[in-house]
Amino acid sequence: MPGEMLNSTSQISIESIYAAISNHGFSEQTTQLIDNFTNYILNGKTNLTQFNQAEHAGLCCAGEMLIGAYIVCCYARTSLETSTNASASQVGPGNWEIDELQEKLVYQWAEAKGVWFNNAEKDIEAEYGPMIAQGAEAKVYYQNGDTSVIKLRTSIYATLGRALESIILHNALFAETPMNVIGFTRDSEGMFRIICTQPYITCKRLATKQEIDFMVAQKGFRDNGDGRGVNYIGERLHLEDMHSANVFIDSVSDTPICIDCIVKFIRK
């Protein structure tokens, strides 16, 4: 039982969390179990094996809300894949099925945690300032003089879990502009949004293609050969949408700074 696991001196496992969600939903005991495992990760007592050391640092930098939501997303995917195998089907769950379940369960978990926000757009604008930019992936809010922006990130990835991964991987690659997740919402159009903060960067100018190429080459990426000139590939990751609107020359360091991009694991 979850309560017995919490009182045990043994380390909590992912399997015990999955069992608690399956048997008890997001009860107080289950959410505490996820919190405890999250603290193990943040305190360096355990890690998630899909991430290397740099990526694990990016995970921790993204904060406890992202870690908890990512665990819930992993449960959703695993439970669907397990049920598919149990039915002896040759076709696994589609990404739309995984995404639908991940959004549903993260909503339930966030509600239980008190980090689901209704009317977030209105509240954020009132507290943090007006929307200063909007793209395919994020709405950005900023109040003059603040050191951070607030972003409402939507998923342009196959699933919510992949969208959360992208934040982790961004933090690993671009530690100077880390994103920290503080909650979740749906926008006025009903789209699921991840609420996060990110340092405000004073833009001296937009980076050139040559400057971006040099920056990503130092991180182990090369042009992926698709002819677009903004997409790159490394040993583990795809790095896409690296155009000058997403890469600035910082007025303080006078170096290229990536504020947003599409980053994901290479999967066969």
1: confidence class by pLDDT, cuts 50, 70, 90:
very low
Greater model confidence, 141 or 10:
141
Q: CB of 257 within 8 A of CB of 176? A: yes
For residues 181 and 231, membership in a common domain is answered with no
Q: Give the residue from 113, 131, 158 where a domain finishes.
A: 113
For residues 101 and 26, membership in a common domain is answered with yes
Residue 44 domain boundaries: 2-113
For residues 17 and 65, membership in a common domain is answered with yes
Q: Which residues, 6 or more positions from 149, have their beta carbon under 8 angstroms from its beta carbon?
A: 132, 140, 141, 142, 197, 198, 199, 200
Look at residue 6 and tell me whether its pLDDT is greater than 50: no
Share of the chain above pLDDT 90, in %: 75
Q: Give the residue from 199, 225, 245 where a domain finishes.
A: 199
Looking at residue 5, its pLDDT comes to: 36
> How do residues 20-33 score in pLDDT, each as one tens digit?
999 999 999 999 99
* pTM listed for this prediction: 0.91
Looking at residue 3, its pLDDT comes to: 36
> How do residues 222-246 score in pLDDT, each as one tens digit?
999 998 999 999 999 999 999 988 9
Look at residue 161 and tell me whether its pLDDT is greater than 70: yes
Number of domains in the chain: 3
Between 24-33, 36-45, 81-90, the lowest mean confidence (pLDDT) is in: 81-90
For residues 22 and 84, membership in a common domain is answered with yes
Look at residue 194 and tell me whether its pLDDT is greater than 60: yes
Helix residue ranges per DSSP H, 129-267: 160-173, 209-218
Q: CB of 261 within 8 A of CB of 215? A: no
